[in-house]
Amino acid sequence: MLSQTEENYLKALFHLTSETANKSETGTNELAATLNVKPATANDMLKKLKEKKLIHYEKYGKVSLTASGKKQAIEVVRKHRLWETFLYDKLEFSWDEVHEVAEQLEHIYSPKLIEQLEKFLGYPEFDPHGDVIPNAKGELKLQVRKTLSQVAVGKPCKLVAVKDNSASFLQYVVKVGLGLSSKIKVVSRQEFDGTMEIEVNGKRSIVSQKFAENIFVV
Amino acid sequence: MLSQTEENYLKALFHLTSETANKSETGTNELAATLNVKPATANDMLKKLKEKKLIHYEKYGKVSLTASGKKQAIEVVRKHRLWETFLYDKLEFSWDEVHEVAEQLEHIYSPKLIEQLEKFLGYPEFDPHGDVIPNAKGELKLQVRKTLSQVAVGKPCKLVAVKDNSASFLQYVVKVGLGLSSKIKVVSRQEFDGTMEIEVNGKRSIVSQKFAENIFVV
DNA sequence: ATATAAAGTTAGATAAGCCTAACAAAATAA
DNA sequence: TTATTTTGTTAGGCTTATCTAACTTTATAT
């Protein structure tokens, strides 16, 4: 069985090499930065994960998950998202509070627990941030979605998910009046720096390009 | 904050020095045996816990919890029992399955999680094994109860809790036809080895003294 | 009252996961 | 195409929690 640390490395690799991230490989430094460890530490773990055949990796080369590594990473993601849903739906946690606790809960080992939790929650398809919850087989629907920053001026769209799950970002999102399924209209965009004006329920706000890049819409 | 390991040592010390165990102190070897580690390992941890003022301990002396240590131990017990209740009441876990998973869940850190979980469960007083769940202040009702082995022949009694929480014991308990609140009549007892015959719902069984010592009744 | 047994302690080792400092390779820019 | 910057690796150390083996203290039994 994998240690919590190993699970965290696999999960980070999964996120860094997913469709959402638009690339299929990553490097030691990027991985280290994601996990808040030094490159030397990440390097040690890469050797270990390669040894266990969970990643493709050669010295000085790029890193990607093997089928086995991806399967295990998805299982962690599945647990994370189910727990987030539990906290949000059943325990009155807010959008920005669920992530941190789910980071701990995702490492609990008990197949029956996850099975029953999923059943108890009514086999949810999406977590509170709008992300797809992989099913028990590790399959996850590919979502067609773009970021708010890619929407044309004048176009209405709907928020389906957020990219960043940090409390600070989510609190900001709420402050602008946004939530899952919010309808957004792009009023204008600055050519210079991508800053845009948006309208949500009649309320207008100015948001940065960085902000808009972290909002997924359809 | 305490490590999982430290929490486990405190919990073990709590159980070994509780009213139920009929003593207020324990030793290195007993503690080590409970936690399935070697005495040398337990000894190291005792020094560390003393340093943190969580236990009373002097070289070659007996061990007991300080007020601070007891408070933290009870918090772990509280979490353990709330999670057991969750698994049993909400996720269809059986009597003998809850303990193992709760051993993992009890170490999740999130005050809000426990608060909300307790509320969600309807502020339960007892866990699935009949043990009292400490409240948020760390208070726990002292239960007056004796073991089945102490019941006089001919006396009827009611199962209120079990001492051993292992799956093997609990499965045996179920096999004999027992569960929480089961009514038991002591039919006879062997003077020689304490083996007793009991009757549960009209069904008679022979049980060992060791078995009877692990059943709490009123 | 002393010998033996039981309980407890110490020293030194190991593995996981992290670090810093020094170095090597690869990518980029002049 | 060479110099510089970025990226990645190695070597050696630290901490936590574990172990074994040897030793010491306390308790028990004759």
What pLDDT is attached to residue A137?
A: 96
Placement of tokens 């994370």 in the chain? A80
Find the Å distance, CA of residue A116 to C1' of nucleotide D16: 35
Q: Verify whether the Cβ–Cβ distance A93 to B108 is below 8 Å.
A: no
Q: Is B211 helix (H, G, I), strand (E, B) or coil?
A: helix
Closest CA of chain A from B125, distance in Å = 19
Which of A90, A110, A120 lies at the smallest CB-CB distance from B101?
Answer: A110
- The nearest alpha carbon in chain A to B118 belongs to A91
Question: Which nt has its C1' nearest the CA of B40?
Answer: C9
Residues of chain A predicted below pLDDT 50:
none
Q: Which of A91, A100, A109 is opposite residue B104, by nearest beta carbon? A: A109
Q: What is the pLDDT along chain B (218 residues), one digit of tens a residue?
A: 999 999 999 999 999 998 777 899 999 999 999 999 999 999 999 999 999 999 999 999 999 999 999 999 999 999 999 999 999 999 999 989 999 999 999 999 999 999 999 999 999 999 998 899 999 999 998 888 888 888 888 888 888 888 888 888 888 888 888 888 788 888 889 888 889 889 888 889 899 888 888 888 88
Instruction: Give the burial string for B28-51 (b: 16+ CB within 10 Å, else e).
Output: bebbbebbebeeebbbebbeebbe
How far off is chain A from B206, nearest CA to CA, in Å? 34
- pTM for the model: 0.90
The C1' atom of C26 and the CA atom of A143 lie apart, in whole Å, by: 36
Helices (H) and strands (E) in chain B, counts: 8, 8
pLDDT value, residue A217: 85
B61-CA/C7-C1' distance, Å:
10
Q: What is the pLDDT of residue A163?
A: 85
What pLDDT, on a 0 to 100 scale, did the predictor assign at position B16? 96
Which pLDDT value is given to residue A46? Answer: 98
- Find the CB nearest B110 among A101, A112, A117: A101
